[in-house]
């Protein structure tokens, strides 16, 4: 666990900003000591990394919170975008370094300002932002979640995890059994009712994400037992084939 001062030091985010993130629910402290000190675990630090990524893409704090709290948040996709954006910035900085060394070594021989061009970075950032913020599903999620309290959101999360707990109880059955398919449909209906219209295509993408490793898989297997996420994904596939 790290203190707010330590998190500020390694991330470059001011203590004041971290307090604000906690206050608005964007980055809640993992634990608050009796003395009132905020502490953050590795999961919170990973969330902070995603927050900083989306800030680089010029999302508002409210938009970032909505994306990270969405059940459709794709951690792998976010990391791929972060890597690509950093690669573009690395290329841009290297061009500037080469230009500076050239000027230092041989002086200004031509008046090209190509090294200062950030068009590729700007275009990629805009494209990445559009991929998160302009989908019909995301817009619908924004509408349905507007004004939703933290307590209501927690209740909905608990209801979803309860569905996975039920998957865990029957994971020894065949994934195309009547009960497994019923639970897959129940999950789809829960997402549609509370977040966004969950088409079969979206549901299958979510299923792959649930079983793809990382936090989603760990959390699902935690409530349903090892193999629950994989089983839920197979049940989703069976439902979508019908």
With a cut of 70, say whether residue 130 has pLDDT above it.
no
Owning domain of residue 105: 75-134
- Identify whether 140 is part of a domain: no
With a cut of 60, say whether residue 109 has pLDDT above it.
no
Are the CB atoms for 74 and 209 separated by under 8 Å?
A: yes
What is the domain-level CATH number for residue 58?
A: 1.10.1660.10
* 122 & 192 share domain: no
Q: How many domains does the chain have?
A: 3
Are the CB atoms for 93 and 100 separated by under 8 Å?
A: no
- Domain boundary residue, one of 134, 156, 173: 134
- Identify whether 141 is part of a domain: no
- Identify whether 139 is part of a domain: no
pTM of the entire structure? 0.53
Q: What is the pLDDT of residues 174-218, one digit of tens each?
A: 999 999 999 999 999 999 999 888 889 888 888 887 887 766 788
- Domain boundary residue, one of 113, 134, 155: 134
What's the rounded Cα separation, in Å, for the pair 46 and 196?
25
Are the CB atoms for 57 and 124 separated by under 8 Å?
A: no
Higher-pLDDT residue of 97 and 109 is: 97
* 94 & 13 share domain: no
- Identify whether 115 is part of a domain: yes
- Identify whether 90 is part of a domain: yes
- Identify whether 142 is part of a domain: no
Q: Measure Cα distances from 211 to 95, 138, 219, 234 in Å.
A: 41, 22, 11, 9
39 exposed, middle or buried (CB, 10 Å; 0-12, 13-18, 19+)?
A: middle
* 8 & 44 share domain: yes
Cα-to-chain-centroid distance, residue 209: 12
* 151 & 130 share domain: no
Q: What is the pLDDT of residues 3-17, one digit of tens each?
A: 999 999 999 999 999
* 127 & 153 share domain: no
**Predicted confidence band at 238 (pLDDT cuts at 50, 70, 90)?**
very high
């Amino acid at each position: 666990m790290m203190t707010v001062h330590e998190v500020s030091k390694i991330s470059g985010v001011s203590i004041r900003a971290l307090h604000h993130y906690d206050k608005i629910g964007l980055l809640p402290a993992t634990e608050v000591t009796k003395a009132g000190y905020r502490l953050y675990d590795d999961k919170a630090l990973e969330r902070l990394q995603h927050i900083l990524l989306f800030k680089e893409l010029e999302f508002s704090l409210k938009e970032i919170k909505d994306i990270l709290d969405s059940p459709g948040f794709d951690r792998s996709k976010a990391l791929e975008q972060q890597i690509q954006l950093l690669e573009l910035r690395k290329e841009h900085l290297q061009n500037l370094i080469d230009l500076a060394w050239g000027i230092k070594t041989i002086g200004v021989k031509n008046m090209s300002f190509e090294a200062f061009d950030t068009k590729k970075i700007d275009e990629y950032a805009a494209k990445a932002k559009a991929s998160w913020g302009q989908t019909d599903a995301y817009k619908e999620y924004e509408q349905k979640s507007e004004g939703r309290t933290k307590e209501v959101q927690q209740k909905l999360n608990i209801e979803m995890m309860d569905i996975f707990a039920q998957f865990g109880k029957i994971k020894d059955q065949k994934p195309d059994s009547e009960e497994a398919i019923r639970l897959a449909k129940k999950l789809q209906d829960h997402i549609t009712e509370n977040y966004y219209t969950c088409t079969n295509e979206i549901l299958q993408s979510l299923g792959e994400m649930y079983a793809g490793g990382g936090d989603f898989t760990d959390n699902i297997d935690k409530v349903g037992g090892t193999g629950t996420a994989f089983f839920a994904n197979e049940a989703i596939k069976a439902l979508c084939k019908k």
